[in-house]
Amino acid sequence: MSTYLLLIKCPDAKGLVFKITGILFRHGVNVISNHEFVDAENDYFFMRTAFSGEVPETLVDELRAVLPENSDIRLSREGKRAVVIFATKEPHCLGDLLLRHAYDELPATIQAVVANHPDLEPLARQFGIPFHLVSHAGRERAEHEAEILRVLAGYSPEFLVLAKYMRTLTPQFLAHFPSRIINIHHSFLPAFQGARPYQQAFERGVKIIGASAHIVTEELDTGPIIAQGLLPVDHTHTASDMAQAGRDIEKFVLAKALKLVLEERVFLHRNRTIIFE
């Protein structure tokens, strides 16, 4: 007997929980967990229900009939999600994900690694994961992305993970995976613009190094935040030590965020995430 995940997002209205749970109750399913949240500021309703049992084909239609128009209803089977990882040269995030995948810490099937540099091919291969080099050298951005899409066509990933992939993606590319691309990047208090952020952090004497994982939207590095983490540093840390702290917290935060996303715990609404842990 499968476990199902039902995700509903719609304008708030009276009786939503009653109506939804009523349909589930009449079908005799066994509710395992139930989360709701009402965003009072925006009058929006979010619900995630995990249940086991027999599900009629009509379930989504039955739900749609009692919910407000334009409700977003998503029903899926619990299980591993197909993922392709994008990388460039840095191994820390990719390596951590491959290890977790190998030892079953992530509800994911990593189908392939796509990179614009060859450096990480040995790492992917030692874990038995196909590696695709799609160099951007001498290619227009559209051509490069078209080539990546051809590679992805050989798989059917539900999610893409940018594990220190150092290229921006065009809105045209993003449209193929709406709200289904996860990125990780360093974060500082205060924020630094421009190049060599760890050098800037060192020069400012920051005491905390952070990382943020977010859903990729058209504005680079400013999509809705899924998870954040931090590590303390001090004046004895060189810029290079701070970069090491950055790597340590980046890999932890990316794995945490990815697990939340793969378990379908993350709703996106405007520029915020609602996360049912």
Residues 54-113 that bind a second copy (CB under 8 A): 91-92, 95-96, 99, 102-103, 105
Window 237 to 256, contacts with a second copy (CB under 8 A): 238, 244, 247-248, 252, 255-256
Q: Least distance (Å) from a second copy to the CB of residue 162?
A: 17
171, HSE (Cβ side, Cα atoms, 13 Å): 2
Phi, psi angle pair for 194, to nearest 5°: 90, -170
Beta strands in 58-167 (DSSP E): 72-77, 81-87, 108-115, 131-133, 159-162
Of 16-24, 60-68, 135-143, 164-172, which part binds a second copy (CB under 8 A)? 16-24
From residue 155, alpha-carbon distances to 127, 167, 229 in Å are 18, 21, 32
Structure tokens at 59: 């379930």
> Is 84 exposed, middle or buried (CB count within 10 Å of its CB: 0-12, 13-18, 19+)?
buried
Interacting positions 25-54 with a second copy (CB under 8 A): 25, 28, 30-41
- Sole binder of a second copy in the list 190, 194, 195, 219 (CB under 8 A): 190
Position 179 contacts a second copy (CB under 8 A):
no
Map the footprint of a second copy across residues 121-160, applying CB under 8 A.
123, 126-127
Site for a second copy in 154-173 (CB under 8 A): none
The greatest distance separating any two alpha carbons of the chain, rounded to the nearest whole angstrom, comes to 64
Among 57, 191, 195, 219, interactor with a second copy by CB under 8 A = 191
- Interface with a second copy, residue 194, by CB under 8 A: no
Find the shortest distance in angstroms from Cβ 48 to a second copy.
11
Q: Counting runs of H as helices and runs of E as strands, what totals does the chain give?
A: 8, 13
Q: Determine if 205 is a binding residue for a second copy (CB under 8 A).
A: yes
The region of 22-30, 54-62, 69-77, 80-88 touching a second copy under the rule CB under 8 A is 22-30
Q: How far is the CB of 43 from a second copy (least distance, A)?
A: 12
Residue 21, interface with a second copy (CB under 8 A)? yes
For the annotated catalytic residues, the residue numbers are: 221
| DSSP classification of residue 224 | P
Is residue 223 within 8 A of residue 183, CB to CB? The reply is: yes
